[in-house]
Structure 1
């Protein structure tokens, strides 16, 4: 695959990520404006993330069986159509805002899982393990750019449009993403051979890989802790902005944009950091800052302080992901990559719907900022428990030229 085709593939990924960011901006506002309830915001987040998580094993099997290009095209095509139908329905029946957006996000979440695992299984076929940190940081850069462009574009559009009308724009970028990947006919060459294996058998394969590799289990523990902090912020960011601090919808756009700006700044430092420290140290630093960001959000008495904590937690997720994704590729056999990662990401992301469930159950009775303090404390305790084991066994704890080669 030449550079032009790789560039088109990455551009399509950028469009897809932009669509995700626009949905993440629009849906919380639609739900909170329609219901005025923090608990309902948490329930909407649960409806979004539960289908995403439980569909991950299927995504892993599909990635190994039919390859990334086909999965991408179908997933983003379905999301484009779903956004169009939801926008049209909300125009006709605005009183059904919660039901429509919950159904939309459930469907889009299922498709997101398929595209995400397809990406995870495809990238290792395009680049060597030695170049994996650079490749993963490039993908994070795409996410960061979308993190700025998505809220910025949404904030500008909201000068003329209601939050529900942003779904039309999301449909357009998902359609562009699907068309871009569809144009890559040669991309089918990167697909793995089809495997005649059921979803349950694929899940069992992934489980065996995880069971036999304690380091992967430790990485899952770290990811669960991070996602609990991030999930709580995603579920309540709009409600805290509009409800707790009484600010307009455009302020929520500034919150999202601050994440993107700081994320890009951290991304630009990745090459410099990787020349001076190991991928492992980069990941550990990011994890600690994410947890500290949760504490800052929990203690914030003003909106600028809350924005600072929010930005710290989200901006450093990219650096943490570079570590997690690079490290686990040293341990997972290529032949089981899709199925193993499908299971691992399923476990990693269980704490996201858990965060939504937590908010939906107690969000209207317990101050949300107390929940931030609790989950940040859980994350820090998790790190203390796992730190010595990770430092001793991580293959990314050494500089790239000294790290042992993957099997």
Structure 2
């Protein structure tokens, strides 16, 4: 299905997502070990996601203008350097752990946005439309596989080193990723979105943003997809922001148990994506999306009511583990409604809106976590998911391309 360039690019993506997963595993433990506060964990999550959010429009413009290879390589080089410098700084100033990790998260979050949009805008240029479902499934399998390998590697390394020393490993895998993409030539270097624009338009960032906003507003299906994804991300964000605090603090488990929990969730995500080819032969991508959305909502409800750790694990696993299937549905459906020349700008705006609830979840945990049980937040989000299903998901069925027979979806 793919040529050598794509396999090298995807291989580099494995290392890049592994580095991101190592950071997501290590940073909550570093912060919680240093502060012992669920409020500070929520604040750290907010700091991590705000730069991802605010830099997305810039990422879309850069992806359309600069090209995927250059943007992707620069992002991973910067992340490798940031992890290396932070690891050195933590050794010198251990009393400044929160400030140093907050700065690391902010920079890495900015770079993550650049790499993510570079990937989203480049893959559709390299993969035929009829193979998009397979390609997106493969990308989700890479993400989920890294979700297994990251905590597994982190948990194993914790036998010999401190959580802060995991930053050295993250720096190494980001460096390997950047070298892989740097070895490719001509990958995503064209900028179709600006090919026919005037010189003034190419310099006008606001013009490009208006093009993306206009295209998004013109398609009610895209707006419905955004609303659904914002709901899912709010639940996932609260789960991620409170995972270490609930596991280690509320339920009294060890750091290694938290690593095992993350590994279990990654295995679940990977298992569901291995089932994707079998599922695609039997049900529509839309049906996969609706079932995964319902499973995520049920998971949030279980977290809210869990009196014991095993029930919490089940709810947490559904919340995070079913996101892979839901993301495949979202990514495939939205590509049918976006013009190729505007893909980077429109996708960056969509992801900006989608992920706006991630820093919101960190803010909620930071504000509410000090005086209200964190599990109570999950009740509210589960109720919101029920409303989103009734108002957005059911009406979407009549228009969604992925709800049609496979041959119609390919031709759309």
TM-score exceeds 0.5:
yes
Identify unmatched segments of 5+ residues in structure 1: none
User: What is the rounded CA distance, in whole Å, between the counterparts of 1:243 and 1:189 in structure 2?
Assistant: 48
Is 1:382 the counterpart of 2:388? The answer is yes
Q: Structure 2 residue aligned with 1:284, among 278, 290, 295?
A: 290
Q: TM-score with structure 1 length normalisation?
A: 0.97
Q: Where do 1:312-323 residues align within 5 Å? A: 312-323=318-329
Q: Deviations over 1:72-100 (max 9, x none)?
A: 10000000000001100001111101000
User: What is the rounded CA distance, in whole Å, between the counterparts of 2:189 and 2:96 in structure 1?
Assistant: 45
Partner of 1:226: 232
SS of equivalent residue, structure 2 residue 398: helix
The answer as to whether partners of 1:27 and 1:101 remain within 8 angstroms in 2 is yes
Is 1:95 the counterpart of 2:101? The answer is no
Q: Where do 1:8-27 residues align within 5 Å? A: 8-27=8-27
Partner of 1:359: 365
Deviates more, 1:94-103 or 1:395-404: 395-404
Partner of 1:328: 334
C-alpha change, 1:344 and 1:97, in structure 2 (3 Å) is same
Partner of 1:350: 356
The answer as to whether partners of 2:228 and 2:393 remain within 8 angstroms in 1 is no
Q: Structure 2 residue aligned with 1:403, among 387, 391, 409?
A: 409
Partner of 2:118: 118
Q: How far apart are residue 45 of structure 1 and its match?
A: 0.3
C-alpha change, 1:365 and 1:106, in structure 2 (3 Å) is same
Q: Deviations over 1:109-146 (max 9, x none)?
A: 00000000011100110112221111100000101110
Q: Where do 1:2-401 residues align within 5 Å? A: 3-188=3-188, 192=192, 196-401=202-407
The answer as to whether partners of 2:64 and 2:345 remain within 8 angstroms in 1 is yes
Q: How far apart are residue 201 of structure 1 and its match?
A: 2.1
Count of matched residue pairs: 406
Identify unmatched segments of 5+ residues in structure 2: 196-201
User: What is the rounded CA distance, in whole Å, between the counterparts of 2:189 and 2:92 in structure 1?
Assistant: 45
Q: How far apart are residue 186 of structure 1 and its match?
A: 3.6
Deviates more, 1:74-83 or 1:189-198: 189-198
Q: How far apart are residue 202 of structure 1 and its match?
A: 2.1
C-alpha change, 1:307 and 1:357, in structure 2 (3 Å) is same
